[in-house]
Amino acid sequence: MAAIQVVRSEWTKIRSVASTVWTLSLAVVVTIALGMLISALSKNDFDRMSRGDRLSFDPTFISFAGMSLGQLAMIVFGVLVVSNEYSTGMIRTSLAAVPQRATFLISKIAVATGLALVVGLVTSFVTFFLGQAMLGEHKASIGDTGVLRAVIGGGIYMTLIAMFSMGVAAMLRSPMLSLGILMPFFFLISNILGNVSATKKIGRFLPDQAGSKIMQVVTPIDDDTPYGPWGGLGIMALWVLAALVGGYVLLKKRDA
């Protein structure tokens, strides 16, 4: 009963601020546009590729290339949904109205997650079809083995990124601090760790690297990743769980 009220209230909150629309539409536009661009470039590049590269050419994964930037907008969405409460001081009013802090946090995250999932899935399907259209003769079909899994997985990936950000923001409270850590982490540090051979073994257990495995259909030839697509998504889900539990524990314990 109480939870339904809180969910309704959180829905009102989320739809009544401009930042929701802005961050989510930015995520959609950037992901789709960049995916199309890179798909088009890859198509032109295909004929000059080495044989090995051609063998591991993954049209599905290429159409999701925009997610590396689009996920940043998802991060901003996740961070703002939670930290807006703190930066405005609204958290005091909210918690005075809902003294059950677990109900409050779970409802808030549930509403934002639901919205992110819808937006993520739509983005994923649109970016797949438009990306394939750009790829021309090298395109994959939605009916091919593993493709539907990759496309749905892409939507789930974006949702999990947003959830992870919500958990981090619930722990850190400040939007500036949360963004200042999450943005460089996902845009730079994770990529560097994942591409330098010495740190590759650690880097691939980071949430975005593990999670993005779900969008791969063709496994690269020399790939020795110890987990499959669902395993990778599972690793990412564990990260998300850890962040959310951390956020909840701190919210429960701390003075508002």
Partner 1 sequence: MIEAVGLTKRYGDKTAVYNLSFQVRPGTVTGFLGPNGSGKSTTMRMILGLDNPTSGQVTIGGYPYRRLPNAPRQVGALLDAKAVHGGRAARNHLLCLAQLSGIPARRVDEVLGVVGLQDVAKRRSKGFSLGMGQRLGIAAALLGDPQVLLFDEPVNGLDPEGILWVRNLMKALAAEGRTVFVSSHLMSEMAVTADHLIVIGRGQLLADMSIKDFISANSADFARVRTPDTEPQLREKLSSALTEAGGHVLPEQDGALRVTGLPLPRISDIAHDSDVRLWELSPHQASLEEAYMRMTQGAVDYRSTIDQKAGLMQPLPPGAQPPMPVPGQGQPDWYAPPPPQQGGQPFADGQRFAGAPGQPTAGPYAAPAPAPGAAPAAGGSPNPYAQAAPQPAAPNSVPSSDLTKPEDAR
Binding site for partner 1 (CB under 8 A): 1-2, 5-6, 8-10, 12-13, 16-19, 84, 88-90, 92-100, 255-256
Q: CB of residue 25 vs partner 1: minimum separation in angstroms?
A: 16
| Distance from the first to the final alpha carbon of the chain | 24
Closest CB to partner 1 among residues 8, 201: 8
- Give me the least distance between CB of 75 and partner 1, in Å please: 19
Q: Which residues of 120-158 are buried (b: 16+ CB within 10 A; e: fewer)?
A: bbebbbbbbebbbebbeeebbeeeeebbbbbbbbbbbbb
User: How far, in Å, CA of 219 to CA of 152, rounded?
Assistant: 18
- Measured from the CB of residue 256, what is the shortest distance to partner 1 in angstroms? 4
Q: Which is nearer to partner 1, 93 or 195 (CB)?
A: 93
CB of 244 vs partner 1, minimal distance in Å:
21
Residue 112 or 240 with smaller CB distance to partner 1: 112
Instruction: Count Cα atoms within 13 angstroms, Cβ side, for 187.
Output: 14
Three-point CA angle 195, 200, 203, nearest 5°? 95
* Closer to partner 1 by Cβ: residue 98 or 160: 98
The set of residues, in sequence order, having a beta carbon less than 8 Å from that of 157 and lying 6+ positions away, is 67, 71, 120, 211, 212, 214, 215, 233, 236
Please identify, using beta-carbon distances, which residue of 54 and 92 lies nearer to partner 1: 92
Provide the 3-class DSSP secondary structure of residue 218: coil
To the nearest whole angstrom, how small is the minimum distance from the Cβ of residue 94 to partner 1?
Answer: 7
Of the pair 9, 191, the CB lying nearest partner 1 is at 9
**In one letter, which amino acid is 181?**
I
CB 19, min distance to partner 1, A: 7
